[in-house]
Amino acid sequence: DQQVKQNSPSLSVQEGRISILNCDYTNSMFDYFLWYKKYPAEGPTFLISISSIKDKNEDGRFTVFLNKSAKHLSLHIVPSQPGDSAVYFCAASPGANSKLTFGKGITLSVRP
Partner 1 sequence: EAQVTQNPRYLITVTGKKLTVTCSQNMNHEYMSWYRQDPGLGLRQIYYSMNVEVTDKGDVPEGYKVSRKEKRNFPLILESPSPNQTSLYFCASRAYGANVLTFGAGSRLTVL
Q: Which is nearer to partner 1, 9 or 82 (CB)?
A: 9
**Strand intervals (E) in the chain:** 4-5, 10-14, 19-25, 32-38, 45-51, 56-59, 62-67, 72-77, 86-93, 101-102, 106-111
> Shortest approach of partner 1 to residue 42 CB, angstroms?
6
Q: Which is nearer to partner 1, 35 or 63 (CB)?
A: 35
> Shortest approach of partner 1 to residue 95 CB, angstroms?
8
Site residues, partner 1 (CB under 8 A): 6, 9, 32, 34, 36, 41-46, 49, 89, 93, 96-97, 99-100, 102-105
Amino acid at 17: R
Q: Which is nearer to partner 1, 40 or 112 (CB)?
A: 40
Q: Which is nearer to partner 1, 49 or 74 (CB)?
A: 49
Neighbours of 15 (CB within 10 A): 14
DSSP label at residue 51: E
> Shortest approach of partner 1 to residue 18 CB, angstroms?
24
| Spatial separation of the C-alpha atoms in residues 112 and 109, rounded to whole Å | 10
